[in-house]
Structure 1
Amino acid sequence: MIRGILLDLAGVVYEGDHVLPNALEAVRQLHSTGLPIRFVTNTTTKTKKALLARLTGLGLEITSDELFTPGQAARAWLKQHNASPLLLVHPNLKAEFSSLPDRKKRAVIVGDAGEAFTYWTLNHAFRALIDGAAFLALAKNRTFMDDDGKLSLDAGAFVSALEYSSGKQAIVLGKPSPDFFHAALASMGCAPEEAVMVGDDAECDVAGALLAGLSRAVLVRTGKYRDGDERRVEAPPTAVVKDLPAAAAWILGHRDG
């Protein structure tokens, strides 16, 4: 039985500056069932507030409580561990951490920094890591669908480079971290085995959800999906469908089963 739904955003609901065909109607259809929904994204180029504003502008009806971001998870980690951030992130995301107090303990936080990934910034992060800073990765995706409709290199390669050089393993805060999935599920009182995940990333969205204990995960052939992705992951998807409307139909058809 399905009692809760997790939806990815980029590549599932929208791409670039446009909503995918009939995606908003599919979200409304899922909302009409009364099932709780959480939107779980690895987007790290915007603050949660800015992302909410963008989604609202695209016509998506969403509240702050329904949206889970890696930046949000990083703030919670820093508070829990009494640490201050050393940021290697996109300039637009820095405001997410501006209100945090200065603490003695440090944590290097790596996100999709875009053009801010330079030798100097990476070496600065490396030196902080070997000096004892904790290592947090907002996400470790291989690629993302860029605004020009093509795949671009994501932060995963830079996180791996710092892991290799420093000898430290990053704590991944976004998908596919089980803690990230579990936090979203806990917010709606849903057990993992009663939830379904929908995403376009076979590795982070689908396999990540299944390995986190979710009983079902649906892969859509939009966004970053490439033919055969479902055969290249440790935990294959429960179903592979055309797009979000097809995923919504699949969920409604399997809600009680």
Structure 2
Amino acid sequence: MARGVLLDLSGVLYDGNTVLPGAIAAVLRLRAARLPVRFLTNTTRQSKRQIVAHLQRLGFDCAADEVFTPVAAARAWLKANSHQPHLLIHPALEEDFADCRMDGPVAVVLGDAAERFSYEGLNAAFRALMAGSPLLALARNRFFRDRDGELSLDAGPFVEALEHASGIKAKLFGKPSADFFLAAAASMGLDPADLAMIGDDAESDTAGALAAGIGTAILVRSGKYRDGDEQRFQPAPSAVVDDITAACDLILAAQRD
């Protein structure tokens, strides 16, 4: 029985500016059952401020401290290791790094930079890596469902390109990093085994959660889900359902048993 719930955002709760059917009601049902909720996203085309505002604008009941992005963990690493960031990120994300130190050794920080993934931008990051900088990956998802409804390249292929060229393995801060899931669990004061994760990505969301020790991981057939995803990655999801409503039905039914 889950005592808390981790929710992916895009593809589970909303698609661009459209709330997915039943999503707002599902979050309210979880809260009514006194289940703490955390919103986990690898999205790096928006700052945390923008993500929280977007959720609230769409009608979701959420607070800033309930939203987890990879940026906070990357910033903590930079501070603890006295590095300044060499940013290869989307312009909207720059505000989250505005107060980072601008002296000391350099660390390459890579997110979904969209049009900034130019040869010039990638080569500047590559040269920094070859000079000894570490590579901090905010996410390494392969693709995402874009606003036009089609799949688009995410940060992962560019992380792997720089890893291949430089021979340097990236430090990962977003899903499926175990630390990312464990930080959300710690914020609720709960054991990871007492949590359920709901996501549309069989690799980063459900397999990543289970590998991190999350007790239950439910894959929804919305967002980026493709037929057969549940068989492509291990550990396999605990359950596969049509949408967020069905996922909440499973969680709440287990509470009643």
Into which bin does the TM-score normalised by the smaller protein fall?
over 0.9
Note the C-alpha offset of 1:256. Answer: 6.3
- 8 Å contact from structure 1 (residues 16, 149) kept in 2: no
- 8 Å contact from structure 1 (residues 11, 222) kept in 2: yes
Note the C-alpha offset of 1:128. Answer: 0.3
Find the aligned partners of 1:224 and 1:93 in 2 and give their Cα distance.
23
Find the aligned partners of 1:111 and 1:255 in 2 and give their Cα distance.
38
Note the C-alpha offset of 1:171. Answer: 0.6
- Provide the residue aligned with 2:222 in structure 1: 222
- Provide the residue aligned with 2:89 in structure 1: 89
Note the C-alpha offset of 1:147. Answer: 0.3
Is residue 211 from structure 1 mapped to residue 211 from structure 2 by the alignment?
Answer: yes
Unaligned runs of 5+ in 1: none
Find the aligned partners of 2:127 and 2:189 in 1 and give their Cα distance.
42
Find the aligned partners of 2:122 and 2:228 in 1 and give their Cα distance.
33
Q: Could you say what secondary structure the match of 1:227 adopts?
A: coil
Note the C-alpha offset of 1:65. Answer: 0.8
Find the aligned partners of 1:221 and 1:98 in 2 and give their Cα distance.
37
- 8 Å contact from structure 1 (residues 85, 106) kept in 2: yes
- Provide the residue aligned with 1:253 in structure 2: 253
- Provide the residue aligned with 1:37 in structure 2: 37
Written as runs of structure 1 = structure 2, the 5 A alignment for 1:13-162 is 13-162=13-162
Q: Could you say what secondary structure the match of 2:188 adopts?
A: coil
Q: What are the Cα deviations for residues 118-145 of structure 1, in whole angstroms up to 9, with x where unaligned?
A: 1110000000011111110000000101
Note the C-alpha offset of 1:99. Answer: 1.3
- 8 Å contact from structure 1 (residues 48, 72) kept in 2: no
Find the aligned partners of 1:41 and 1:76 in 2 and give their Cα distance.
18
Find the aligned partners of 2:122 and 2:14 in 1 and give their Cα distance.
31
- Matched residue type, 1:225: Y
Note the C-alpha offset of 1:74. Answer: 1.4
- Provide the residue aligned with 2:173 in structure 1: 173
Task: Report the aligned-residue RMSD.
Answer: 1.0
Q: How does the TM-score come out when normalised to structure 1?
A: 0.98
- Provide the residue aligned with 1:10 in structure 2: 10
- Provide the residue aligned with 1:234 in structure 2: 234
Note the C-alpha offset of 1:77. Answer: 1.5
Give the share of equivalent positions with the same residue, in percent: 54
Note the C-alpha offset of 1:4. Answer: 1.2
- Matched residue type, 2:105: K
- Matched residue type, 2:206: V
Greater mean alpha carbon deviation, residues 74-83 or residues 220-229: 74-83
Q: Could you say what secondary structure the match of 2:10 adopts?
A: coil
Q: Could you say what secondary structure the match of 1:251 adopts?
A: helix
- Provide the residue aligned with 1:184 in structure 2: 184
- Matched residue type, 2:97: F
- 8 Å contact from structure 1 (residues 139, 156) kept in 2: yes
Note the C-alpha offset of 1:210. Answer: 0.3
- Matched residue type, 1:57: R
Specify whether residues 256 and 75 from structure 1 end up closer, same or farther in structure 2 by C-alpha distance, changes over 3 A only.
Answer: farther
Find the aligned partners of 1:137 and 1:3 in 2 and give their Cα distance.
30
Unaligned runs of 5+ in 2: none
- Matched residue type, 2:213: G
Find the aligned partners of 2:256 and 2:39 in 1 and give their Cα distance.
22
Count residues in correspondence: 257
Q: What are the Cα deviations for residues 213-238 of structure 1, in whole angstroms up to 9, with x where unaligned?
A: 11210000000000100000011000
- Matched residue type, 1:58: L
Note the C-alpha offset of 1:80. Answer: 1.8
- Provide the residue aligned with 1:198 in structure 2: 198
Greater mean alpha carbon deviation, residues 169-178 or residues 81-90: 81-90
Find the aligned partners of 1:212 and 1:181 in 2 and give their Cα distance.
7
Q: Could you say what secondary structure the match of 2:152 adopts?
A: strand
- 8 Å contact from structure 1 (residues 2, 256) kept in 2: no
Q: What are the Cα deviations for residues 86-112 of structure 1, in whole angstroms up to 9, with x where unaligned?
A: 000001111110111223121101100
Note the C-alpha offset of 1:255. Answer: 3.0
